[in-house]
Amino acid sequence: MDFDLPLIWAAIIAFAVLAYVVLDGFDLGVGILFPLFPEKHDRDVMMNSIAPVWDGNETWLVLGGGGLMAVFPLAYATVLPALYAPIIAMLIGLIFRGVAFEYRWRTKRAEFLWNWAFAGGSMLAAFAQGIALGALVQGIPVEDRAYAGSWWDWLTPFSIVTGIAIVVGYALLGATWLVMKTHGDLAERARAIALKCCFATVGAMGVVSLWTPFLEPVYLQRWFGWPTAIFSVIVPLLVLGCLYLLITGIRDRHDAQPFVAALGLFVLGYIGIGISFYPYMVPPSLTIWEAAAPEESLAFLLAGALVLVPIILAYTGYAYWVFRGKVDPEEGYH
């Protein structure tokens, strides 16, 4: 039985990126919301709610990026030059917030600096991820197996809108996470923020979704040509369903339902991107099969992935299980 190894690896990379977005998205969202909670006690609880899991969440970013380089080297070699600036900005943001996790607890005099490093790093990383996403969706020109665009091709009105959309969406994930993990006034304020962010997120998704089909002819055909036009009905209906669950979960004071519904919005948005992209790895220039490494390399690396990915899933699930439930305001990870 022959296996389509490039397609299998495309699914693995897609899963790793999705896992990173939904897992690291909420802890970036907590950082984005940091300026809205000026009290030190609230900020301590917010950081403690994500401190046990934030670094493990970024494992999926390493897996997605490293896997892309190993199994789709041509895609890696064309995407990186096109997105150097936003990717470097993202890494700088992640470094600042990572250092802030440790240094904020070690100083009193400079604590405000690390508060801003945590919040600013979170905002920068989220915005840069959205910019990179927008630049990839709008298309990367490739000629003779190399990037053929200019340094500033990533900066367009569309990529700026997607950057803002990701920041707002991560803020929604962060707010619903705080609803699920905290008590009292902090949870109530997070609930109010989540209600505002859910409408802003769905509105941003609508703008990006209506804009995307007109960026490339293949997108327009995919969303409005038969039979794939059926996705243009199914996906928006599912988005409205998640929005309903979000609103009712917040209104009825459920703890977990808003967070799960917010994750659903991100999963549906990711599925929408996948529908637009397939079969391209670098739209509209390179397909999955054109960008893939030799079959022998894919098979060798797949053997390792079949061991590594379940291990990552197991310890990630175990970490969330150990630290399940509400955060005790009087205790913390630090």
Cα torsion 223, 227, 231, 237: sign: positive
* pLDDT at 331 exceeding the cut of 80: no
Q: What is the mean pLDDT of the chain?
A: 90
- pLDDT band per the 50, 70, 90 thresholds, residue 332: low
pLDDT band at residue 1 using 50, 70 and 90 as cut-offs = low
Residue pair 9/154 in contact (Cβ under 8 Å)? The answer is no
pLDDT of residue 22: 87
Distance CA 44, CA 291 (A): 45
Q: Provide, rounded to the nearest whole percent, the portion of the chain with pLDDT above 90.
A: 58
Q: How confident is the model at residue 65 (pLDDT cuts 50, 70, 90)?
A: confident
Using CA atoms, how far apart are residues 86 and 109, in angstroms rounded to an integer?
Answer: 32
Would you state the pLDDT for residue 307?
93
247-256 confidence digits (pLDDT tens): 999 999 999 9
d(CA 113, CA 142): 42
Tens digit of each residue's pLDDT (9 = 90 or more) over 175-215? 999 999 998 899 999 999 999 999 999 999 999 998 998 88
Please give the structure tokens belonging to residue 139. 């298309």
Q: Looking at residue 204, what is its pLDDT?
A: 95
- Are 136 and 153 in contact by the 8 Å Cβ rule? The answer is no
Give residue-wise pLDDT tens across range 73-111.
999 999 999 999 999 999 999 999 889 888 887 878 888
pLDDT (tens digit, 9 = 90+) per residue, 133-181? Answer: 999 999 888 888 888 888 899 999 999 999 999 999 999 999 999 999 9
What pLDDT is recorded for position 242?
95
pLDDT recorded at residue 182: 92
Confidence (pTM)? 0.93
Q: What is the pLDDT of residues 288-308, one digit of tens each?
A: 999 999 999 999 999 999 999
